[in-house]
Amino acid sequence: MKKLKLHFFALAVILAATSCSKDDAPESTGSTPVNDDPISGMFQKNVLIEDYTGTWCGWCPRVAYSIQQVENVTTKSVAVAVHGGSASEPMRYTGSLPIDIQGYPTGMLDRTVEWVYPENTHINQAKNLAKNNSGLGLAMNSTVSGGTIDLNVKIKFAQDVTNAKLVVYLVEDNLVYDQTNYTSYFGGGATIANFDHDNVLRQTLTSITGDALTGTTASQTITKNFNLPIPANVTNAANIHFVAFVTGSNGGAINVRKAAPNTDQAFEVNP
């Protein structure tokens, strides 16, 4: 079974629980890794992983586990967990989604590429999208103090980019809830008690499909500022961080970056 359908009957659940053994397929990194030599003036290319998930979803730990495996083989990945699929989901993101989700879990790479099932045997599909060269880079600096966020997102271009859009997420780590589990991961068992949920999407600071950018030509730098109160659904402001990415003409993420609060980043530019 690839996913749990959004609308399903009790019989389907029983059959899934008893017949879907493919979830525990042998570990593999998938396809052959791709190497590219750094080009001076270009930027490190990170891969965006958007994980559509829920605490109610028994197969969802498979993608959470697979994200950990990606993080074990590259530092160039940025994950965001978009919780939904049930009105009772405690971390449910209530805004619109950028794609039509057919079932849970769904893993999307660089916004438009579906992570092949089972994700844990296709680790290199994600890793291969993390490269040494991108035509744009991002850097963030922020101040979080007194219940207010002041965030600057800078985008620098080494190449011309058409139809560029900026997406900015506010996410939260260390949210502890029980997780339904049909897999052998994280110790197995029907319920993973007190599961630590990270990278949980709390709010989009732009349109979820992106705000249009202008002046996106080679050698230009654009700065976008966001000033807002800490969202009411944030449990602990000390556990938030920011994710920013730029999409191009096809809607795919050209590059992505994450940043902790109260940091001042430099661009990840190749010397």
- Across all residues in the chain, what is the average pLDDT? 91
CA distances for 184 relative to 28, 170, 175, 190, 238, angstroms: 16, 31, 22, 9, 32
Domain assignment present for residue 271? The answer is no
**Strands (DSSP E) found in the chain:** 4-5, 43-45, 47-53, 77-83, 103-104, 106-109, 113-114, 131-134, 136-145, 148-157, 165-172, 175-180, 191-197, 200-204, 211-212, 221-229, 240-247, 253-259
pTM exceeds 0.75, yes or no: yes
Whether residue 141 has pLDDT greater than 60:
yes
> Is the pLDDT assigned to residue 19 strictly greater than 80?
no
Residue 139 domain-assigned (yes or no): yes
Task: Write the pLDDT tens digit of every residue in 162-173.
Answer: 999 999 999 999
Q: Which two three-digit tokens encode residue 169?
A: 């997420």
What range defines the domain where residue 64 resides? 4-13+43-259
Alpha carbons 94 and 83: distance in angstroms, whole number: 9
Phi, psi of 212 (to 5 degrees): -65, 140
Q: How much is the pLDDT for 8?
A: 38
Q: Could you read off the pLDDT of 85-110 as tens digits, one per residue? A: 999 999 999 999 999 999 999 999 99
24 found inside a domain? no
Question: How many domains is the chain partitioned into structurally?
Answer: 1
Nearest to 55 by CA among 90, 23, 82: 90
Given a cut of 70, whether residue 198 has pLDDT beyond it is: yes
pLDDT at site 2: 46
User: Is residue 47, in this structure, part of any structural domain at all?
Assistant: yes
**Higher-pLDDT residue of 28, 41:** 41
Give dist(CA 153, CA 168) in Å, integer: 9
- Is residue 270 in some structural domain? no
- Strands 4-5, 191-197: parallel, antiparallel or unpaired by DSSP? unpaired
Asked if residue 61 belongs to a domain, the reply is: yes
Lookup: tokens for 136: 């744009």
Tell me the C-alpha to C-alpha distance, in Å, between residue 20 and each of 3, 4, 62, 104, 107. Answer: 10, 11, 13, 15, 19
Give domain status of residue 268, yes or no. no
pLDDT higher than 50, residue 29:
no
Return d(Cα 124, Cα 232) in angstroms, integer: 37
Question: Residue 253 corresponds to which tokens in the numbers above?
Answer: 């993420």
Q: What pLDDT, in 10s, does the model give residues 30-77?
A: 344 455 899 999 999 999 999 999 999 999 999 999 999 999 999 999
Query: Which phi and psi (to 5°) does residue 19 adopt?
Result: -115, -15
pLDDT at 24: 46
SS3 content of the chain, % helix, strand, coil (to 5): 15, 40, 45
Nearest to residue 28, comparing CAs of 69, 63, 87, 79?
Answer: 69
User: What is the CATH number for 105?
Assistant: 2.60.40.10
Q: Picking from 19-23, 117-121, 218-222, which range would have the lowest pLDDT averaged per residue?
A: 19-23
pLDDT of the residue at 36: 83
The residues, any chain, with a CB within 8 Å of residue 117's CB and separated by 6 or more, are: 2, 3
Q: What is the mean pLDDT of residues 214-221?
A: 98
Q: Is residue 104 within 8 Å of residue 54, measured between CB atoms?
A: yes
Instruction: Classify residue 20: in a domain, yes or no.
Output: no
Burial of 162 (0-12, 13-18, 19+ CB in 10 A): exposed
* 166 contacts 155 by C-beta, under 8 angstroms: yes
Task: Give the per-residue pLDDT at 35.
Answer: 55
